Structure formats: C-alpha cells, structure tokens
Amino acid sequence: MLAQVADLVPPAVGDDCTRIGVDGVDGAGKSTFARELAEALRRLGRPVVELTVDDWHHPRERRYARGRRSPEGFWLDSFDYERLVTECLRPLGPSGTRRYRAAGHDLGTDRLLFDELDSAPAGAAVVVDGLFLHRAELEGAFDLTVFVDVPFEVSAARMAVRDGSPPDPAHPDLRRYVEAQRTYFAECAPRDRADLVVDNTELDAPYLVQAPLD
C-alpha cells in the first residue's frame, strides 16, 4: 500500500519541491506512516525532506492560556501556523527558495527556535506529519494530503500504550484532545478534503480508502 501511495505523489516540476501532508488524530499512526512513506519515496529515487508540525508549537503560556483542559485551547492555540507557513512550507512551495527552517519551537525546553535555514534538494518530496493539516491557515500549503483514519477508540488505546493516558476516549483526561479533534472534523472535514484516505485501524494491514480519480 505504501508503494501505491508513493506512486501517487506528484512528480517534481523543475526544481520545485512536492509537499505531502500526512494528517490524522493523535494515535492514528501518522508519524510512522509518514516515515515509511518517506522511505518508499527514497526507494523510487526521490530526495526526501521529513518534517513534523510538532516542531512548531506555540510556547506553553500561549497553549494553555484558555486552561490546561480546554479543547478550544488545543484547537486554536497549539501551533504557530504563521511561522510554519512563512518560514517552512512556503519556501518549499512553487517557485520557492527551498531555504526553510525545520523547527520553530523545542517542546522539551519550551524555547522558540530561530536556527540557521536548511536547504532542500531540488525536486525533493517534503513529507510533513501533524494534526489539523486541513485547517484554513494551511490551505494551499500542501501539494498532496493523506488523512490517516482510525476510530477514536483505537487511537485512544494506542495513546494509552504510548503515553500512559486513559484508553477510553470518553475519559475526562482526554476531553481536551478528543473534543478539539471533533471540532476539527466538523469545521474542516479532513476525510472529505484529503486527496488520499488511508484506513490505519489495523497497523499490519492499512489500506487505501480514497484516491484521486485521475
């Protein structure tokens, strides 16, 4: 299936990069999928840049300004989309300089980052994983999007193994995250807007649900 998805990634136009967004809820498996897609693209001989929206959080004070349990705060205040677009995704877009900043924030130290710019190879496939990639602030930021789809019951169980969080998506401790993602579904319809939808309920047997018609 990964080879099939890799074959659907548009070819480079001249030296321009191709930006692929891998979207999905917490625990969907999008980071693993993005990493494996990057490897599949390399096997096709394409240069690849791997990035994550997790490196573009707002500082802690901004993220929790509405309260540490606020779904609205998670939806509205988690990520610095302005910097993500202007310093990273736009330079990697059509006619861009390919000079980009890979990260704008260190989650461990809560420090903003302004490191030297990196240079993407000409014609690189840029694979970006993260939450909320079909929101309005990121419209036009990707050349192909993949939504990695799993039920909340499955994603919560995976997060419980990974993070030690409650396995029940209805648990109050998960309300901030689950309700924010329900808001995202209602406002942005990522399953409908994604170019590709991958059902990742079974990690050993993901399959392509939706693909372009042409």
- Please tell me the total count of domains within the chain: 1
Range of the domain at 182: 2-201
Whether residue 120 is contained in a domain is answered as yes
Whether residue 211 is contained in a domain is answered as no
Whether residue 87 is contained in a domain is answered as yes
Question: Could you report the per-residue pLDDT of 162-209, keeping only the tens digit for each?
Answer: 999 999 999 999 999 999 999 999 999 999 999 999 999 999 999 999
Whether residue 122 is contained in a domain is answered as yes
Question: Could you report the per-residue pLDDT of 20-67, keeping only the tens digit for each?
Answer: 999 999 999 999 999 999 999 999 999 999 999 999 999 999 999 999
Q: What angle do CA 97, 102, 105 make, to 5 degrees?
A: 135
- Rounded CA-CA distance 58/56 in Å is 7
CATH of the domain at 189: 3.40.50.300
